[in-house]
A and B are shown apart, each in its own frame.
Chain A
Amino acid sequence: VKEIRVTVAVIAAVLAIVVLSSSLYTVAETEQVIVTQFGKPVGKPITTPGLKVKMPFTQVVHAFEKRFMEWDGDPNQIPTKDKRFIWVDSYARWRITDPLLFFQRLRDERGAQSRLDDILDGETRNTIAKNELIDLVRSTNRPFVVADDVAELSQPEAAERVEHGREKLTKEVLENARRRTGDLGIEILDFRIKQINYVEAVRQEVYARMISERKRIAERYRSEGAGEAARIAGEKDRQLRVVESEAYRQAQEIRGKADAQAADIYAAAYNRDAEFYRFLKSMGTLRESIDPETTLILSTDSELLRYLSSAK
């Protein structure tokens, strides 16, 4: 009798555990769940985490991600409106807003990803094909900062105006895609272009253009250097002449002034007695001009020899 009692107790305990474990379940912080009974949804989706209760055995729990999820598109080769072939790699953020609808329409994440592929790739293609490349690359018409005097000649395409800009175009893709996902129980929160790259052939062309552009800049630097050097050399020559002639002019002026002053001084003095000056100057000149080679012919009439002939 005692053994039977023990056996019954054990069986009851096991049963209790089984029932309990089938009727209790946890919802993680990152999950949201729907409960179905024989395939039919029961009650509202459960979005709050914690320990929950359901009918044992007959009800099944389907858990879905509650967090934002990633969608990473495959790089696509797409021509822009201006017929440039580019690789476009984009990503999007999305989440399940209505788990029940999501479960009904898409079943699981794989289904969702492939629907997103269709929708987003298509919308990306549409938008890109309608726009020029510059609109995809730039966001604004922000003027380029000119680092040096060369930038202004280096960019022929900088003049192209951006009509919409990258931000607006990705928003456009997002809006259009959103319209098509409304009835799928999901919401796309953001769509962005991760990478835009030229296809190989175009890239080579762009490189060739960049190279020729650089060469042009290099040539300009060289010619600027030569030009500037010539200018400085010219400046040097001019400066040299200015300095020299200015000095000459000043020197002559100074000399002239001094000569004039000297002449005035002489005149003022000698005018007292011009005749006496002539006499004095003649004496001086005689003294200086006569040397041993000179032959002196004197008349006895002269002042000096007057007394040579007679003493009177």
Chain B
Amino acid sequence: MEIQLPNGLSFKTPTFPGRVVARAVLVIAALVVVFSSWFTIEPEEAGLVMRFGRYVRTVPPGLHLKLPRPIEAVVKVPVERQLKEEFGFRTESSAGSRTTYSQEDLSAESLMLTGDLNVAVVEWTAQYRVRDPYKYLFKVRSVQKTFRDMNETVMREVVGDRSVNEVLTVGRQEIAAEVEQRLQALCDQYENGIKVEQIVLQDVNPPDAVKPSFNEVNQAQQEREKLINQARADYNQIIPRAKGQAQQTIEQAEGFATDRVNRARGDAELFVKVHAAYQRAPEVTRRRMYLETMGEIYPKVKKKVVLDEKLKGILPLLPVAGAAEVKP
């Protein structure tokens, strides 16, 4: 074919015989058919095949064949992958060992009213899986956004039935469990094909403005413990010792008692023996004992005065050795 251009030039397009063109078209068509007839499904995925828009089958991971476009099309859903939604915070990257969080203000998501009309800040993560890819794709539009809305609703329902004290302290475990269970029920009701794996409560805090006073309560609690512990320590320092000392007093008394009784017994025994001997010869023994005693005493005494009964009216002095000086 010859083409005339306005400026006088002309050129010829190469002419192909009709058969060549037809062949080329056929080859290209064949290639398209072949390349759109197989597909692979990754290990964590499931493939849903649709024929003219109608769902026909689900295929497991591996290499699969299908009818070429536009007859059949495949949608892949990651059914085995654990998916995660974060509320009140966003993980920006967890590359390496350090996780960074977005600085964005997400308090609207995490600020909530408690059952006693106080305010708490609750951050949590919902981990879930696509259990039923058919429902996931074909029952609910914007599944992810819906799921987020559901999370916020259920969390607030559960927190709304608890006091702020409960939310911040003992209720954590229970809240997570109840949210999980209710959220699953809601997912089943909405038929979104989601299996809630776990609800993890992250930080649960009082609002920033109130935090210092909460810390003050903790501090006061510590203070209380400290005071009580000190008093107990004091108690423990004194009472066991006093008990020991009391025991000591009692033991000493016991000792005294034994001593006293034994001595009494000894003395009594001695008396009985001596008395027995005395009774055999009372006069002599008595005299002997008296004289013995005097014999013992007499040498000890330095100043001795002997009075003769018969020398009446005279007071004779008998100076004995060492008694020169007279004491008044």
User: Is the Cβ of A266 less than 8 Å from the Cβ of B267?
Assistant: yes
Cα–Cα, bound, A140→B139 (Å): 31
Cα–Cα, bound, A259→B171 (Å): 69
Q: A67-B139, A219-B220, A233-B234 are in contact. Are A303 and B291 (CB under 8 A)?
A: yes
- Residue in A closest to B240 when the chains form the complex, CB atoms: A243
User: Is the Cβ of A214 less than 8 Å from the Cβ of B213?
Assistant: yes
Contact among A68, A207, A218, A259 with B217 in the assembled complex (CB-CB below 8 Å): A218
Check B140 for interface membership: any CB of A closer than 8 A.
yes
Cα–Cα, bound, A243→B245 (Å): 9
Q: Mark A242-264, 1 if CB is under 8 A from B, else 0.
A: 01101110111011011101110
Residues from chain A with Cβ under 8 Å of B117 in the complex = 133-134, 137, 157, 206
Contact among A190, A192, A206 with B119 in the assembled complex (CB-CB below 8 Å): A206
- Distance in Å from the Cβ of A192 to the closest Cβ of chain B? 4
Cα–Cα, bound, A232→B286 (Å): 69
User: Is the Cβ of B140 less than 8 Å from the Cβ of A68?
Assistant: yes
Stretch at the interface among B2-10, B25-33, B36-44, B301-309: B301-309
User: Is the Cβ of B264 less than 8 Å from the Cβ of A262?
Assistant: yes
Cα–Cα, bound, A49→B50 (Å): 10
Residues from chain A with Cβ under 8 Å of B254 in the complex = 254
User: Is the Cβ of A279 less than 8 Å from the Cβ of B286?
Assistant: yes
Contact among A50, A193, A195, A276 with B54 in the assembled complex (CB-CB below 8 Å): A50
Residues from chain A with Cβ under 8 Å of B86 in the complex = none
Q: A268-B268, A300-B307 are in contact. Are A255 and B253 (CB under 8 A)?
A: yes
Q: A50-B54, A70-B141, A280-B274 are in contact. Are A197 and B111 (CB under 8 A)?
A: yes
Q: List residues 218-273 of chain B with CB under 8 A from any CB of chain A.
A: 219-221, 223-228, 230-232, 234-235, 238-239, 242-243, 245-247, 249-250, 252-254, 256-258, 260-261, 263-265, 267-269, 271-272
Q: Mark A226-250, 1 if CB is under 8 A from B, else 0.
A: 1011111101100110011011101
User: Is the Cβ of A196 less than 8 Å from the Cβ of B296?
Assistant: no
User: Is the Cβ of B210 less than 8 Å from the Cβ of A207?
Assistant: yes
Chain A binding site: helix, strand, loop or mixed by DSSP? helix
- Residue in B closest to A133 when the chains form the complex, CB atoms: B117
User: Is the Cβ of A144 less than 8 Å from the Cβ of B166?
Assistant: yes
Residues from chain B with Cβ under 8 Å of A254 in the complex = 250, 253-254, 256-257
Cα–Cα, bound, A254→B247 (Å): 13
Q: List residues 136-193 of chain B with CB under 8 A from any CB of chain A.
A: 137-142, 145-146, 149-150, 152-153, 156-157, 160-166, 169-171, 174, 189-191
User: Is the Cβ of B307 less than 8 Å from the Cβ of A194?
Assistant: no
Contact among B139, B164, B294 with A210 in the assembled complex (CB-CB below 8 Å): B164
- Distance in Å from the Cβ of B204 to the closest Cβ of chain A? 13
Q: Mark A299-312, 1 if CB is under 8 A from B, else 0.
A: 11101110011000
User: Is the Cβ of B115 less than 8 Å from the Cβ of A233?
Assistant: no
Check A272 for interface membership: any CB of B closer than 8 A.
yes
Cα–Cα, bound, A296→B287 (Å): 20
User: Is the Cβ of A190 less than 8 Å from the Cβ of B206?
Assistant: no
Q: A151-B163, A158-B115, A197-B111 are in contact. Are A232 and B307 (CB under 8 A)?
A: no
Interface residues on B, range: 35 or more
Q: A218-B220, A290-B301 are in contact. Are A266 and B268 (CB under 8 A)?
A: yes
Check A269 for interface membership: any CB of B closer than 8 A.
yes
- Distance in Å from the Cβ of A8 to the closest Cβ of chain B? 15
Check B80 for interface membership: any CB of A closer than 8 A.
no
Cα–Cα, bound, A158→B213 (Å): 20
Stretch at the interface among A25-33, A123-131, A175-183: A25-33
Check A295 for interface membership: any CB of B closer than 8 A.
yes
User: Is the Cβ of B116 less than 8 Å from the Cβ of A158?
Assistant: yes
User: Is the Cβ of B206 less than 8 Å from the Cβ of A229?
Assistant: no
- Distance in Å from the Cβ of A205 to the closest Cβ of chain B? 11
User: Is the Cβ of A300 less than 8 Å from the Cβ of B309?
Assistant: yes
- Distance in Å from the Cβ of B18 to the closest Cβ of chain A? 8
- Residue in A closest to B107 when the chains form the complex, CB atoms: A197
User: Is the Cβ of A247 less than 8 Å from the Cβ of B249?
Assistant: yes
User: Is the Cβ of B232 less than 8 Å from the Cβ of A239?
Assistant: no
Check B112 for interface membership: any CB of A closer than 8 A.
yes
Contact among B156, B207, B300 with A292 in the assembled complex (CB-CB below 8 Å): B300
User: Is the Cβ of B293 less than 8 Å from the Cβ of A287?
Assistant: yes
Cα–Cα, bound, A207→B260 (Å): 78
Contact among B238, B258, B310 with A240 in the assembled complex (CB-CB below 8 Å): B238
20 CB-based A-B contacts, threshold 8 Å: A48-B54, A49-B53, A50-B53, A72-B145, A138-B115, A142-B115, A155-B116, A166-B160, A194-B152, A207-B119, A222-B220, A224-B224, A228-B231, A239-B242, A247-B246, A250-B253, A276-B278, A280-B289, A291-B300, A298-B305
Q: Considering the complex of A and B, which 3 residue pairs feature the smallest CB-CB distances, nearest first? A: A225-B224, A258-B257, A247-B246
Q: A244-B245, A254-B256 are in contact. List 14 more A-B contacts (CB 8 A).
A: A145-B171, A158-B163, A214-B213, A219-B220, A222-B223, A258-B258, A261-B264, A269-B267, A276-B275, A283-B289, A283-B293, A287-B296, A290-B301, A295-B301
